[in-house]
Amino acid sequence: MTRQIVITLEGLSVDAIGCYGSAFNQTPTIDAMASDGFVWDRLVCHDDRPDVVLATLVSSRHGGLLIDDGTTPSVGRAFDLVQTMPIDSADKSVANRVEDTHFSRLVQSLDEAVNADSPAERIWLHSGFLARHWDAPRDLFPVDESWDDWGDDDQEFLDTEPPGTVSGGAPLSETDGEGACPPIFEGVEPPVHPIVANDPVDLIMAWMRTYGCQVRLIDQLLDRCVDLADQIDATLILMGTSGFNLGQNGWIGHGCGPLRSAQIQVPLIVRTPQGIHHDVGMRWPKLTGSQDVAATVIADDLVDRLPFTAEQWAADSDDAFDPMLVTQTETADRCVNTGGWFYVRDRDQSEHLYLKPDDRHDHNDVGRLAPDALDRLSTDG
């Protein structure tokens, strides 16, 4: 059995990670993992509930140690031992140091588990802090950091059209209304905010900086995780079990607003033990469903094979409808990703179609220009 350290995170956005093209955030450790390993460019959750995604991943292997914050208690049955460190919801203070954060305490438990007399073959760390508790020191993202590299693709975040109505009665953030907003927010509670016409012009950017702090916290602590993986010759896997809205669908927050790619497209990066694979630094550009990760990535024999080969990467597919992944959701009436399309039918029966992988942020609804694709994706038939 190959040793594994698996780190899964609820609310992890590809748009805040450098190796996925982020222009506003810096993640040198994650980028180094990508350069030495394998990256899935278009991994989509088969269910928009992160606990379901996690349970599917965990079901592939039994035994080992789970270190978590108690956000998904049911998965603990698949492990020999569980160490739970719940998030203290009563603690509203932002940490002054990285080592004082909740995620740091989880990584410290990981460190102790690796350095035990007989480390478990599989050590799994899961956290939902990105969706629940933003306690990362705000100086991780200096507000005067240069934005000279901000590009046209990223400008889509700022060009998001405000939704016509606010549905679902979701609580609004403290930033409702006109006026200026701070360059970065200090509270630990993540936003649930629909973008409206009278929002301050810098609102999205301020929340992106604040979210960026949390991801930079992860990146800093992953540096220690890389060392621990090398120490025991373990494969290190980083994956999101859900994404995060940074304005792309008219909302800022986790699991809110209409279902769009930002909520279900997640990162997956695998770093195998040094010297095992020579074909490293490979990216898989094709659509992959999260339900397939359990068998292909979190498997006993991964170290003996490549998760994908150069030949598979080069194999072209002319069928824009293959493969087809239907995401289970109660947020939308239907949600389908294919090799060339993303189709979603909202609860109000409005249909939306986006060209993939080109339209990364679901910016241009092309349904009226491709009625045949719209009809084909609207049903299972």
Boundary-marking domain end, from 286, 314, 342: 314
In this structure, what token pair is assigned to residue 330?
């109660």
Residues 210, 263: one domain?
Answer: yes
CA distance 381 to 378: 9
pLDDT tens-digit readout, 4-35:
999 999 999 999 999 999 989 999 999 999 99
According to the model, what pLDDT value does residue 311 have?
A: 74
Cα distances (Å, whole numbers) of residue 356 to 29, 55, 225, 250: 28, 28, 33, 20
Cα distances (Å, whole numbers) of residue 184 to 87, 97, 172, 191, 209: 23, 17, 17, 12, 6
List CB contacts of 368: < 8 A, sequence separation 6 or more: none
According to the model, what pLDDT value does residue 170 have?
A: 37
Best CA proximity match to 337, nearest among 372, 286, 278:
286
CA distance 266 to 288: 10
CA distance 261 to 258: 10
Query: Residue 314: which pLDDT band, with cuts at 50, 70 and 90?
Result: low
Sheet of 192-194: strands edge to edge?
192-194, 251-253, 245-246
CA distance 59 to 77: 10
Residues 182, 238: one domain?
Answer: yes
Boundary-marking domain end, from 293, 314, 335: 314
According to the model, what pLDDT value does residue 125 have?
A: 98
Residue 221 has pLDDT above 70, yes or no: yes
According to the model, what pLDDT value does residue 12 have?
A: 99
pLDDT tens-digit readout, 122-163:
999 999 999 999 999 999 998 776 444 444 554 454 455 444
Residues 238, 307: one domain?
Answer: yes
What is the pLDDT of the chain when averaged over all its residues?
88
According to the model, what pLDDT value does residue 175 have?
A: 47
Residues 269, 204: one domain?
Answer: yes
Query: Does 132 map to a domain?
Result: yes
Residues 180, 299: one domain?
Answer: yes
Query: Does 209 map to a domain?
Result: yes
Q: What per-residue string of b and e applies to 220-230 under the rule 16 or more CB within 10 Å gives b? A: bbbebbbebbe
Query: Does 319 map to a domain?
Result: no
Residue 56 has pLDDT above 90, yes or no: yes
Total number of domains constituting the chain: 2
Residues 251, 346: one domain?
Answer: no
Residues 184, 304: one domain?
Answer: yes
According to the model, what pLDDT value does residue 134 have?
A: 98
What mean pLDDT do residues 203-212 have? 97
Residues 11, 130: one domain?
Answer: yes
Residues 31, 98: one domain?
Answer: yes
Query: Does 349 map to a domain?
Result: yes
Residues 114, 229: one domain?
Answer: yes
Residue 97 has pLDDT above 90, yes or no: yes
**Secondary structure (DSSP) of 231-258:** HTT-EEEEEESS--EESTTSEEESS-SS
pLDDT tens-digit readout, 320-358:
888 999 999 999 999 999 999 999 999 999 999 999 999
Q: Which segment of 169-178, 237-246, 259-268 scores lowest on mean pLDDT?
A: 169-178
Full residue range of the structural domain in which residue 200 is found: 4-314
CA distance 246 to 117: 43
Residue 24 burial (CB < 10 Å; 0-12/13-18/19+)?
buried
Residue 95 has pLDDT above 70, yes or no: yes
Residue 290 has pLDDT above 80, yes or no: yes
CATH number, domain with residue 229: 3.40.720.10
Could you tell me if 92 and 108 are in contact, meaning their C-beta atoms sit under 8 angstroms apart? Answer: no
Point out which residues pair with 340 in neighbouring strands.
Answer: none
Q: Which segment of 43-57, 107-121, 285-299, 302-316 scores lowest on mean pLDDT?
A: 302-316
Q: Which percentage of the chain shows pLDDT scores above 70?
A: 85
In this structure, what token pair is assigned to residue 361?
């942020």
Query: Residue 360: which pLDDT band, with cuts at 50, 70 and 90?
Result: very high
Residues 182, 113: one domain?
Answer: yes
Q: Which percentage of the chain shows pLDDT scores above 90?
A: 72
Could you tell me if 249 and 257 are in contact, meaning their C-beta atoms sit under 8 angstroms apart? Answer: yes
Boundary-marking domain end, from 275, 294, 314: 314
In this structure, what token pair is assigned to residue 256?
């809110």
Point out which residues pair with 81 in neighbouring strands.
Answer: 65
Count of beta carbons in the 10 Å neighbourhood of residue 2: 17
According to the model, what pLDDT value does residue 371 have?
A: 94
Residues 302, 190: one domain?
Answer: yes
